[in-house]
Structure 1
Amino acid sequence: MSIVITGATGQLGRLVVADLLAAGVPADGVTAVARSKEKAEDLAAAGVRVHIADYDDPASFADAFRAGDRVLLISGTDIGRRAAQHAVVIDAAKAAGVAQLAYTGVFGGPEADFLLAADHRETEQLILDSGLPYTFLRNNWYTDAPSFTADLAGILERGTVVSSTSPGARIATAPRTDYAEAAARVLREDGHLGKAYELSGDVAWTLDEFAGEVSRQSGQSIVHRSLTPAEHKAVLTGAGLPEELADVLVDVDAAISRGLLAGTPGDLSRLLGRPATPLADSIRGALAELDAK
């Protein structure tokens, strides 16, 4: 039996592998599925089994999984094509007879009606239809997403946080490290089959509060600038984003405005056995990284 991570050289995948190893899972009991042998060289050097495969190449998943494996399917990044890509992994996992297929979906699951959630809803249904033992990890937004602390340098330079969310709209984020730790626990511990976890931070915050906390910690005046959806799309496309992606991001802000990403059910903190990382701590860490550069 092996714990298998797809997308293992991505930002989330690497953290999950690191958490598994730190928790004492033997390196030869972990399989990293990656598209590039070069990007996985450090994992192979650490003793992790590496399997080269691509979601767009079903044949590449031959022998990726074995009977009894616990598999984490990390969702792909090709919006609109992901369900078909994920089906490749699901089919291979079913053929191998894996013991668990965990999937990183989106907060709200079937109730998430925004554009970005469509692939996730379809993938969850494919997994249910497959009959595989499953665990759904429905992640809320990352605090370290490009819209938030990952763009802290740009926010400090501009003095603004830009969105098209409605006044007072809240979002309950957690950093990628928290979601990775939760995924690693679900893979190495028993008792998680047939469960859907709604994973979010413990406190939902507004963009005004985010801007205020960045101001407090940085000593600079940062404001939240709320735009109309059309204005927001123009800003995003003006920054070089493809129109289709800009539409998706503006639609996410509309979902935030409808309260779809504000829930704080506590599943993440229960899985972690500790509180989720607070927004202020994430901002503090991101500022420290900027100061170190």
Structure 2
Amino acid sequence: MTQFKDKTLLVTGAAGHFGRLAVAELLDRGATRIVAGTRDPSQFDDLAARGVEVRRLDFDDAASMSAGFAGVDRALIISTVAHNRTAQQTAAVAAAKAAGVQHLVYTSAPNARPNASVGGIADHYWTEHAIADSGLDFTLLRNHIYADMTIVAAASALASGQLFDATNGGGRNYVSREDTARTAAGALLGATGKEIHDVTGPAPVTQEQLAALLTQLTGKPVSRIGLTGEQLLGGLEAAGVPTFMAALLVAFDLDAAAGHHAITTDAVEHYSGRKPQALADFLAANRAALTA
């Protein structure tokens, strides 16, 4: 699925981990006119040497967006992590439309909705609406929680022997960042029309199962401890997690409790040509990071 490999394809936020993976996938799959958008073009000497055009692109700078999207046929907008990302991303959508971009691919989140209580998830909802309202064709990729995040969570769980969550036993269909980046690149290369896809791993995994995997791989006993959302929020804030991030993490747990993260789709295989990596295989491949 590479029918648009000779179109001008832009990846925003290309300096990030996701962005670099997406650009690498486009190169590997034969894309001939790749534009890497970044706030700091000096970081891309390696990609420029492989024929990638590097442009300064800052979602807080209207002039850079006009220049960054100029002549682009299809664009992958990678969601930002800024406190004002709704404003940033809706501005980017407007700039893309003004520049004549024909198709937008956007990295969203599962069960995107406008509720103020769900923190950053609402940013994805409003960005999705801006894209739909633009009249452009689009592919909205609602990426489920990265398997990579379990490595971060494992450090405290392995140290304390306890894995805290507010999922009420609900499963999460973890998907690796690499699989989601390949999926996004595949959508940029081949998607048509107006579509929304949940991007998931091969099967949901409960926190009880995750605790068992951590125990098995490290030899250190880890028990899953179920909490309410309020209890988890208080614990995260007490541990020094910023309130915004703590609220987002709790919202993800409560969505899992409601079943929104137990979805399984074939989006990864459809757009990347590869089956998604199971969480157990991901953790086994990253065993050294768990025991570091």
Shared fold (TM-score, shorter chain, > 0.5): yes
- Report the counterpart of residue 282 of structure 1 in structure 2: 282
AA aligned opposite 2:27: L
Q: 1:243 Cα shift?
A: 1.8
Which residue in 1 is equivalent to 2:4? none
TM-score normalised over the length of structure 1: 0.89
| Aligned residue type for 1:250 | V
Q: 1:108 aligns to what? A: 111
The one-letter amino acid paired with 2:18 is L
The one-character-per-residue Cα deviations of 1:102-130 (angstroms, maximum 9, x if unpaired) are 11111234599833321111111111111
Residue 130 of structure 2 corresponds to 126
2:10 aligned to 4, 7, 10, which one?
Answer: 4
Are 1:22 and 2:40 counterparts? no
Does the alignment pair 1:246 with 2:250? no
Q: Which amino acid aligns with 1:22?
A: D
1:41, 1:240 → 2: CA distance?
Answer: 37
Asked if structure 2 preserves the Cα contact closer than 8 Å seen for 1:134 and 1:194, the reply is: yes
CA contact (8 A) 1:139 1:199 kept: yes
1:235 corresponding residue in structure 2: 235
Distance 1:163 1:236 in 2: 10
Kindly report which structure 2 residues correspond to 1:104-253, keeping only aligned pairs within 5 A, or say none: 104-109=107-112, 114-145=118-149, 148-166=150-168, 168-189=169-190, 191-253=191-253
Shift of 1:277: 0.6
Q: 2 CA distance for matches of 1:155 and 1:24?
A: 42
Of all paired residues, the percent bearing the same amino acid is: 34
| Greater mean alpha carbon deviation, residues 282-291 or residues 117-126 | 282-291
Bigger mean CA offset, 33-42 vs 257-266:
33-42
Q: Which runs of 5+ in 1 are unaligned?
A: none
- Contact kept, 8 Å, 2:121 with 2:248, in 1: the verdict is no
Q: Which residue of 2 aligns with 1:64?
A: 68
What's the secondary structure of 2:68's corresponding residue?
coil
User: What is the deviation of 1:144?
Assistant: 0.7
- 2:143–2:180 CA contact under 8 A, matched in 1: yes
The structure 2 residue matched to 1:37, chosen from 38, 41, 57, is: 41
Q: Mind listing any 5+ residue stretches in structure 2 that lack a counterpart? A: 1-6
Does the 8 Å contact 1:170/1:206 carry over to 2?
yes
1:159 Cα deviation from its structure 2 partner: 2.2
- 1:115–1:252 CA contact under 8 A, matched in 2: no
Displacement of 1:280 after TM fit?
Answer: 0.5
CA distance in 2, matches of 1:271, 1:125: 23
Of 5-14 and 246-255, deviating more is 246-255
**Secondary structure at the residue paired with 1:63?**
helix
Are the aligned partners of 2:111 and 2:260 in contact in 1 as well (CA < 8 Å)?
A: yes
Q: 1:288 to 1:220 in 2, by over 3 A?
A: same
* 1:150 match: secondary structure: helix
Across the two proteins, how many residue pairs are aligned to each other? Answer: 285
Q: Tell me if structure 1 keeps the 8 A contact 2:79–2:89.
A: yes
Output the amino acid matched with 1:36.
Answer: D
The 1-side partners of 2:112 and 2:253 are apart by 17
Deviation at 1:68, TM superposition (A): 5.2
Give the aligned CA root-mean-square deviation in angstroms.
2.1
Partner Cα separation in structure 1 for residue 120 and residue 257 of structure 2: 15
Question: Scaled by the length of structure 2, what TM-score is found?
Answer: 0.89
